[in-house]
Structure 1
Amino acid sequence: MPSSLPFGSPAVARLSVVGGVAAASALFLLAGPASAHVGVEPQGEAAKGGYAVINFKVPNERDDASTTKLEVNLPADHPLASVMPQPVPGWKAVVTKEKLAKPLEMHGNTIAEAATKVTWTSTGGKIGPGEFQQFPLSVGKLPEDTDQLVFKALQTYDNKEVVRWIEEPKDGAEEPESPAPVLKLGAATGDEHGGAGHDAGAGAGAEADKATAKTAAQQNGTTETASAGSGGSSDTTARVLGIAGIVVGVAGVAFGVLAGRRRTTT
């Protein structure tokens, strides 16, 4: 019996396939936990100088514990004057504010304090194994002098374990083991409230309504004109027929008179 299998034999091919699957599975298992971290994404677009609703997505990485608390630290180098959490059933949100060393100017008003942290604590809800939860937050005014905002987060489990997602990712470097959520900012839209699209849509709708009303008026006018024209034509026809009837009647009377005279003469 040969001590080795010849290259290209079916057995070697099967071994190669099995080895490839095993290697791919190992890579998948290694990559899986690294990608399951707390992240942040905007609903729509987070434009510089505007307002946005952002979602903090929190997955559960444990098989034997549930997440019961999330703390998100807001960027101190770019303070946000307006921070409002959306209610999440089973969770209580608390916004922590502090006085600013340098007040902000917003809409002609001076803002002396800003939110520094938002904490969501379970009041009956939890993120169980194999589950995730989103925590929406309305924020603004977004800064115009940076392309991203870093939110350092702490995730607490019901077994008292705390996972610190606080490592800031670096461009060109590998993702850290516990990366902090990073919000990418888009180009400024020229409307800090993000209402340009809505206003434009409303204006377009108003113009469309005006155009529709004008078209309807034109159609009504055309109908009325056509009706008036039809009425005028009918009146003219009636007059012509009436005159023709009179002429025929007179001709008949004249014919009768002439016929009577001829009989008398005879």
Structure 2
Amino acid sequence: MNPTVKSRVLLTAATSVTALFALASPALAHVTVQPDGEAAKGGYATIGFKVPNERDDASTTKLEITFPAEQPLASVLPQPVPGWKAEVTKGKLDKPLKVHGSEITEAVTKVTWTADGKGIEPGFFQRFPLSVGQLPEDGDQLVFKALQTYSNKEVVRWIEVPQEGAEEPRFPAPVLALSEAADGHHGGTSGASDKAEDDAHAEDGKNAKNGEDAKDHASDASGSDTTARVLGVVGIVVGVAGVAFGVLAGRRRDTGARS
């Protein structure tokens, strides 16, 4: 191959690879949200926001997650994260929610985590878990917006909503996919309750069976003990009779010898 042509080919290949990595970098390192198990419509779920540090010279010191106003959540409980302080912000609802027969007039609008120490240092990531519910029964996803603040005051806004059929945006917002409720129940909580109830019934049945087995065992043991006592008494009687017979036989032999 001509040296000039070869150089052009190599240059083109290098440029393409560089461009590929440049486009892929944001996709590999953006803020994401995933459920612990599944997030079923109408139920409760534990979700976690995964936050990687993209900088080599700064640490992530703050994370703000904004909740969708059109799909309000009445219950949001953060799990303690060592080295971080969590703050839950609530706001009034334009239209009250009905949850378990009660009317809810406010919902969580934002959760903010602030580092007490070094935060997320270069080369590391951190998970921020939340217990959330009730999840909406309509719609297939929840779209959050995340602001990631670094120790050098830089703020990265992960707020671009991905569109179906389009390329992933440069700064995509975290999206939580919602699954269908199983067996007619709303979410994992109802299913978990039913499973717990079934387990409780199974445990009761097991305990009852163990009780019957124990009773039968005690009865068998009692019968065995009585039989052993009877045999013991019979043995003693037989032994005494044998000794008496032996003594009597000895006396007869002595008497016969004297005669």
Q: Shorter-chain-normalised TM-score: which range?
A: 0.7 to 0.9
- Is it true that 1:64 corresponds to 2:64 in the alignment? no
Q: Secondary structure at the match of 1:96?
A: strand
The one-letter code matched in structure 1 to 2:208 is K
The one-letter code matched in structure 2 to 1:110 is E
The one-letter code matched in structure 2 to 1:208 is K
What is the TM-score of this pair, normalised by structure 2?
Answer: 0.77
- Is it true that 1:209 corresponds to 2:201 in the alignment? no
Query: Which of 52, 74, 77 is residue 67 of structure 2 equivalent to?
Result: 74
CA contact 2:30–2:51 (8 Å) conserved in 1? yes
Q: Distance in 2 between matches of 1:164 and 1:110?
A: 34
- Partner residue, 2:8: none
- Partner residue, 1:224: 222
- Partner residue, 1:135: 128
Sequence identity (%): 52
Query: Which of 152, 159, 170 is residue 145 of structure 2 equivalent to?
Result: 152
Q: Secondary structure at the match of 1:227?
A: helix
Deviation, 1:22, is 10
Q: Secondary structure at the match of 2:229?
A: helix
The one-letter code matched in structure 2 to 1:218 is D
CA contact 1:99–1:114 (8 Å) conserved in 2? yes
Q: Distance in 1 between matches of 2:193 and 2:48?
A: 20
- Partner residue, 2:6: none
Unaligned residue ranges in structure 1 (runs of 5+): 6-18
Q: Distance in 2 between matches of 1:199 and 1:160?
A: 51
Q: Secondary structure at the match of 2:189?
A: coil
Would the alpha carbon gap of residues 199 and 26 (structure 1) be closer, same or farther in structure 2, given more than 3 Å must change?
farther
CA contact 1:141–1:192 (8 Å) conserved in 2? no
Q: Distance in 2 between matches of 1:39 and 1:110?
A: 32
Deviation, 1:29, is 6.2
Deviation, 1:121, is 2.1
What is the TM-score of this pair, normalised by structure 1?
Answer: 0.75
Q: Secondary structure at the match of 2:156?
A: strand
**In the TM superposition, what whole-angstrom CA distance separates every residue of 1:191-235 from its partner, at most 9, and x where no partner exists?**
636444444434433433333333233222222222223333444
Q: Distance in 1 between matches of 2:48 and 2:144?
A: 12
Q: Secondary structure at the match of 1:192?
A: helix
Query: Which of 187, 192, 195 is residue 189 of structure 2 equivalent to?
Result: 192
Q: Distance in 1 between matches of 2:13 and 2:210?
A: 65
Q: Distance in 2 between matches of 1:231 and 1:25?
A: 93
Unaligned residue ranges in structure 2 (runs of 5+): 4-11
- Partner residue, 1:174: 167
The one-letter code matched in structure 2 to 1:62 is R
88-97 or 148-157, which deviates more: 88-97
Would the alpha carbon gap of residues 4 and 160 (structure 1) be closer, same or farther in structure 2, given more than 3 Å must change?
closer
- Partner residue, 1:85: 78
Q: Distance in 2 between matches of 1:209 and 1:172?
A: 56
Query: Which of 126, 130, 150 is residue 119 of structure 2 equivalent to?
Result: 126
Q: Distance in 2 between matches of 1:58 and 1:227?
A: 70
RMSD over aligned CA atoms reads 3.5
Report the number of matched residues: 248
Would the alpha carbon gap of residues 211 and 64 (structure 1) be closer, same or farther in structure 2, given more than 3 Å must change?
same
Moved segments of 4+, more than 3 Å? 19-30, 191-207, 232-257
